[in-house]
Amino acid sequence: MKINPKNGIDQLLFGMKEQDVISIYGNPDKKFEDDDANRIFLYNQYKMRLTFYEDEDFRLGYIITSNANAVLLDKKVIDTNTDELIASLPFNSWEKEDFDSTENHFNESNWLTLQSEYNKVIRVELGAIINDNDEFEWKFKK
Protein backbone atom coordinates (compact mmCIF):
# COMPACT_ATOMS: atom_id res chain seq x y z
CA MET A 1 0.00 0.00 0.00
CA LYS A 2 1.87 3.02 -1.31
CA ILE A 3 1.53 6.36 0.46
CA ASN A 4 1.65 9.14 -2.12
CA PRO A 5 2.26 12.45 -0.31
CA LYS A 6 -0.03 15.26 -1.49
CA ASN A 7 -2.04 12.78 -3.61
CA GLY A 8 -3.47 9.91 -1.55
CA ILE A 9 -2.80 6.28 -0.69
CA ASP A 10 -2.80 3.23 -2.96
CA GLN A 11 -5.46 3.80 -5.65
CA LEU A 12 -7.13 6.58 -3.67
CA LEU A 13 -6.72 10.19 -4.78
CA PHE A 14 -7.80 13.23 -2.83
CA GLY A 15 -10.97 14.62 -4.33
CA MET A 16 -12.65 11.28 -5.05
CA LYS A 17 -16.32 10.97 -4.18
CA GLU A 18 -17.77 8.11 -2.17
CA GLN A 19 -18.88 6.20 -5.29
CA ASP A 20 -15.37 6.45 -6.78
CA VAL A 21 -13.94 4.80 -3.66
CA ILE A 22 -16.69 2.16 -3.50
CA SER A 23 -15.98 1.23 -7.13
CA ILE A 24 -12.41 0.36 -6.09
CA TYR A 25 -12.73 -1.08 -2.57
CA GLY A 26 -16.42 -1.99 -2.35
CA ASN A 27 -18.69 -0.92 0.45
CA PRO A 28 -16.97 0.08 3.69
CA ASP A 29 -17.21 -2.13 6.76
CA LYS A 30 -18.59 0.83 8.66
CA LYS A 31 -19.66 4.34 7.81
CA PHE A 32 -20.78 7.20 9.99
CA GLU A 33 -20.79 10.98 10.29
CA ASP A 34 -18.47 12.89 12.59
CA ASP A 35 -19.41 16.01 14.59
CA ASP A 36 -18.82 18.22 11.52
CA ALA A 37 -21.20 16.16 9.31
CA ASN A 38 -18.23 14.72 7.38
CA ARG A 39 -18.74 11.15 6.18
CA ILE A 40 -16.29 8.54 7.44
CA PHE A 41 -15.63 5.16 5.79
CA LEU A 42 -13.79 2.39 7.63
CA TYR A 43 -12.19 -0.50 5.74
CA ASN A 44 -11.10 -3.19 8.19
CA GLN A 45 -9.14 -5.28 5.68
CA TYR A 46 -7.03 -2.27 4.65
CA LYS A 47 -6.93 -0.70 8.13
CA MET A 48 -8.01 2.59 6.60
CA ARG A 49 -10.25 5.42 7.71
CA LEU A 50 -11.39 7.80 4.97
CA THR A 51 -12.95 11.22 5.54
CA PHE A 52 -15.19 12.87 2.95
CA TYR A 53 -15.59 16.57 3.76
CA GLU A 54 -19.18 17.81 3.93
CA ASP A 55 -18.22 21.40 3.08
CA GLU A 56 -16.33 20.21 -0.02
CA ASP A 57 -19.24 18.30 -1.61
CA PHE A 58 -18.13 15.10 0.16
CA ARG A 59 -14.75 14.79 -1.53
CA LEU A 60 -12.09 12.53 -0.01
CA GLY A 61 -9.84 14.85 1.97
CA TYR A 62 -8.19 12.81 4.72
CA ILE A 63 -6.87 9.26 5.05
CA ILE A 64 -5.66 7.41 8.14
CA THR A 65 -4.03 3.99 7.94
CA SER A 66 -2.26 1.52 10.18
CA ASN A 67 -1.82 -1.03 7.40
CA ALA A 68 1.35 -3.08 7.98
CA ASN A 69 2.07 -2.95 4.22
CA ALA A 70 2.11 0.85 4.05
CA VAL A 71 5.23 2.23 2.38
CA LEU A 72 6.36 5.83 2.04
CA LEU A 73 8.98 6.49 -0.64
CA ASP A 74 9.73 2.74 -0.69
CA LYS A 75 10.25 2.64 3.09
CA LYS A 76 8.13 0.46 5.36
CA VAL A 77 6.24 2.68 7.79
CA ILE A 78 4.21 0.80 10.40
CA ASP A 79 6.25 -0.61 13.30
CA THR A 80 9.37 1.18 12.02
CA ASN A 81 11.65 3.19 14.31
CA THR A 82 10.23 6.71 14.13
CA ASP A 83 13.50 8.61 14.41
CA GLU A 84 15.19 6.48 11.74
CA LEU A 85 12.23 6.79 9.36
CA ILE A 86 12.05 10.58 9.71
CA ALA A 87 15.82 10.89 9.24
CA SER A 88 15.60 8.82 6.03
CA LEU A 89 12.86 10.96 4.45
CA PRO A 90 13.62 14.00 2.29
CA PHE A 91 11.01 16.09 4.14
CA ASN A 92 12.30 18.97 6.25
CA SER A 93 10.60 20.63 9.17
CA TRP A 94 8.74 18.22 11.41
CA GLU A 95 6.59 19.44 14.30
CA LYS A 96 6.32 17.10 17.26
CA GLU A 97 3.44 16.85 19.72
CA ASP A 98 3.59 14.63 22.78
CA PHE A 99 0.49 12.86 24.15
CA ASP A 100 1.51 10.69 27.11
CA SER A 101 2.74 7.48 25.45
CA THR A 102 2.14 8.60 21.86
CA GLU A 103 3.73 11.30 19.74
CA ASN A 104 2.64 12.95 16.51
CA HIS A 105 5.28 13.98 13.99
CA PHE A 106 3.72 16.39 11.49
CA ASN A 107 5.16 17.60 8.19
CA GLU A 108 3.02 20.50 6.99
CA SER A 109 4.33 20.70 3.41
CA ASN A 110 3.00 17.17 2.76
CA TRP A 111 0.16 17.32 5.32
CA LEU A 112 1.57 14.07 6.72
CA THR A 113 1.44 12.86 10.31
CA LEU A 114 3.34 9.87 11.65
CA GLN A 115 1.91 8.79 14.98
CA SER A 116 4.23 6.75 17.16
CA GLU A 117 4.24 4.91 20.44
CA TYR A 118 7.42 3.67 22.08
CA ASN A 119 9.34 5.18 19.13
CA LYS A 120 7.59 2.94 16.59
CA VAL A 121 5.17 4.29 13.98
CA ILE A 122 1.66 3.00 14.67
CA ARG A 123 -0.37 4.98 12.12
CA VAL A 124 -0.11 7.43 9.27
CA GLU A 125 -2.43 10.34 8.55
CA LEU A 126 -2.43 12.08 5.19
CA GLY A 127 -4.51 15.08 4.18
CA ALA A 128 -5.25 16.89 0.96
CA ILE A 129 -3.09 19.95 0.39
CA ILE A 130 -4.56 23.42 0.82
CA ASN A 131 -2.99 26.05 -1.43
CA ASP A 132 -2.15 29.71 -0.73
CA ASN A 133 -5.69 30.72 -1.75
CA ASP A 134 -7.06 28.51 1.05
CA GLU A 135 -8.48 26.04 -1.48
CA PHE A 136 -7.95 22.29 -1.68
CA GLU A 137 -5.75 20.99 -4.48
CA TRP A 138 -7.85 18.04 -5.57
CA LYS A 139 -5.86 15.36 -7.38
CA PHE A 140 -8.81 13.36 -8.71
CA LYS A 141 -10.18 14.80 -11.93
CA LYS A 142 -13.37 13.35 -13.34
Alpha helices in 35-129 (DSSP H): 82-88
What is the spatial distance between Cα 75 and Cα 77, in angstroms, rounded to a whole number?
A: 6
pLDDT at 4: 97
User: Running along the chain, 142 residues long, what does each successive block of 10 average in pLDDT?
Assistant: 97 98 98 97 98 97 98 97 96 94 96 97 97 94 80
**Residue 124 bridge partners (DSSP):** 65, 114
What is the spatial distance between Cα 73 and Cα 7, in angstroms, rounded to a whole number?
A: 13
Helix (H) or strand (E) holding 14: none
What pTM did the predictor assign? 0.96
